[in-house]
A = this chain, B = another copy of it.
Amino acid sequence: MKLDRYSSVPLYAQLRELILERIQDGVYGPGEKIPSEMDFCKELDLSRPTVRQAVAELVADGVLEIHKGKGTFVAGEAERIMIPHFTALSFSFLNLNSYENIGLKSIKLLESDKEMDAIFQLPDNQGYPGYWLAEWPLTIDNQTMGNCQSYVPVQLFPDLGQAISAGKRMIDIKSNKYAYLPQKGSLNLVARPARNKEASILDLPRRSYILAMEGPLFARSGHVCEVLRIILRPDLIGVEIN
């Protein structure tokens, strides 16, 4: 990118884009010092107020930071935590060895509903007894990084809610249930604007983008045994795909 003195775009705006481009191209890396105002004036034959305005706007945008007495620096990019070897089973509730340390928010009994019945491939209006909804946050160092919801049909695990409320161990809950535990899954992963509730759970401004995953897990028996709905803060977390 070069500055164009005959353009209708003001020079400070062109310089702002040029600096941004250099940051995005890695010429100035995260946390690095950028050239001084005088350096830019000389390199590009610009006046000082032009340079100052370009820098001021990038500071206002959070792209640059002024460290008093030291110079102007590229803002450090937050390092995301990557979830290693991510698969559809990574956040399965039924596959947990223990639910004691995940900060389980609640286990609730939900009525059978059409949408969920369809995912679980249950025919309509058969009076199915509904779903257990287990919900827990994904926190690291007391910071909420995401939220997990797991739906388990009462049909397959009739006493799940009572067992968890009574503090029964996961290994006992799962005994004789191995044919109904998740073996594989199919999560649709998308990036989309957060719904209001999701934004509030993740402590993000409304309509912020989030990473969302949703889909069924399948048991050895062939049944859909669990449906997951996971939302993640994209500024804090990513997933490793193998």
Which residues does A use to contact B, with CB under 8 Å?
Answer: 17, 20-21, 24, 26, 80, 82, 86-88, 115, 184-192, 195-197, 209-211, 213, 215, 234-235, 238-242
Distance (Å) between the CB of A112 and the closest chain B CB? 15
Quickly give the copy total for this chain: 2
Distance (Å) between the CB of A211 and the closest chain B CB? 5
Residue from B184, B234, B238 in contact with A242 in the complex, judged by beta carbons closer than 8 Å: B184
Q: Which residue of B lies closest to A113 (CB)?
A: B26
Distance (Å) between the CB of A150 and the closest chain B CB? 16
A70 to B186, CA, bound (A): 38
Residues of B close to A239: CB separation below 8 A: 188-189, 241
Q: When the two chains form their complex, are residues A187 and B240 in contact, meaning their CB atoms are under 8 A apart?
A: yes
Residue from B21, B197, B213, B241 in contact with A213 in the complex, judged by beta carbons closer than 8 Å: B241
Known: A88-B242, A242-B87. A191 touches B210 (CB 8 A): yes
Residue from B24, B195, B210, B238 in contact with A189 in the complex, judged by beta carbons closer than 8 Å: B238
